[in-house]
């Protein structure tokens, strides 16, 4: 078991190391949330002088605090109109580089930051690769708190097996995202990601979904002793 965790640690670190290559020319850098991103931030701290003049923004308070602690210039998201590059992790990645995200409850800001970035790079360890989205990880949704029971019921009626996410410790009551919503995780079984995304986005009360379709430009998959860099060309219709 210990060996497995060490492997995973190196896999995350290798992916994070490779991602450093993508921020060289960026003036404004968006940074996501999670344990793989933590590795990235740790590596950044070791090359602080190379990036001290850049601007950072982040998908969570947690990442903002970590970047500030190192001494980086961190901008609140509300005053950033684009990023040159966005680096984030993911919970699942399929063969078309579509992803499930939101294991850290930061999905709404993650989708916003990724969308408004000129380049989007995702760093994952090899366990995140799946045949279809929702295979291993539930699909998180951010929901307006006042709509919780209504949204929960409709998701249940549709057979999507919703559960309200609770923290492991440190707080009573549901997980509240930095953006103010409650997180509902759904397990809809094998899905058509785009169809499900479109359906979920029409349900009032759902702020955002953890389905990231056509968001990745680059996915760096880390292994114990190598990385596999996968890329996707944006279609004419994508931003
Ligand atoms: C946070 C996320 C994370 O990127 C995702 O959960 C992956 O995290 P980790 O790198 O810890 O596996 O979407 O909302």
Asked if residue 90 has pLDDT above 60, the reply is yes
Task: Give 58-68 pLDDT, tens digit per residue.
Answer: 999 999 999 99
Alpha carbon of residue 64 to chain centroid? 15
pTM: predicted TM-score of the whole model, two decimal places: 0.96
92 is catalytic: no
pLDDT at 2: 65
| The pLDDT of residue 234 | 84
Res 3: pLDDT = 67
The predicted structure's pLDDT at residue 235: 79
Q: How confident is the model at residue 1 (pLDDT cuts 50, 70, 90)?
A: low
Reported as a single tens digit per residue, the pLDDT across 195-229 is: 999 999 999 999 999 999 999 999 999 999 999 99
Contact 213, 193 (CB under 8 A): yes
Rounded distance between C-alpha atoms, residue 214 and residue 224, angstroms: 27
Domains in the chain: ranges and CATH: 3-131+213-238 (3.40.50.1360), 139-210 (3.30.70.260)
Can you tell me the distance from the alpha carbon of 83 to that of 81, in angstroms, rounded to the nearest whole number? 7
Catalytic residue, chosen from 13, 110, 197, 208, is 110
d(CA 113, CA 193): 21
Per residue in 141-156, pLDDT (tens digit) is 999 999 999 999 999 9
Q: How far is the CA of 24 from the centre of ligand 1 (A)?
A: 23
Whose C-alpha lies nearest to ligand 1, atom 4?
89
CA–centroid distance, 186 to ligand 1, in Å, is: 17
């Amino acid at each position: 078991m210990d060996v497995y965790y060490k492997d995973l640690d190196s896999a995350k670190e290798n992916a994070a190391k490779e991602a450093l290559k993508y921020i060289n020319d960026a003036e404004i850098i968006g940074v996501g949330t999670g344990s793989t991103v933590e590795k990235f931030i740790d590596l950044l701290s070791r090359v602080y002088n190379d990036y001290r003049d850049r601007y950072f923004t982040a998908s969570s308070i947690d990442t903002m605090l970590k970047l500030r602690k190192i001494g980086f210039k961190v901008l609140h998201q509300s005053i950033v109109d684009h990023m040159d590059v966005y680096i984030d992790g993911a919970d699942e990645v399929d063969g078309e580089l579509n992803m499930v995200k939101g294991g850290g409850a930061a999905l709404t800001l993650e989708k916003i930051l990724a969308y408004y970035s000129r380049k989007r790079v995702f760093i994952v360890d090899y366990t995140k690769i799946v045949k279809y989205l929702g295979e291993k990880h539930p699909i998180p949704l951010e929901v307006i708190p006042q709509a919780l029971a209504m949204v929960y019921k409709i998701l249940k009626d549709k057979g999507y097996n919703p559960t309200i996410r609770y923290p492991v410790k440190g707080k009573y009551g549901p997980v509240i995202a930095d953006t103010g919503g409650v997180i509902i995780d759904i397990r809809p079984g094998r899905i058509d990601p785009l169809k499900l995304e479109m359906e979920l986005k029409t349900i009032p009360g759902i702020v955002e979904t953890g389905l990231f379709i056509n968001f990745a430009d680059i996915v760096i998959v880390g292994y114990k002793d190598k990385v596999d860099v996968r890329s996707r060309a944006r279609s004419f219709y994508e931003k």
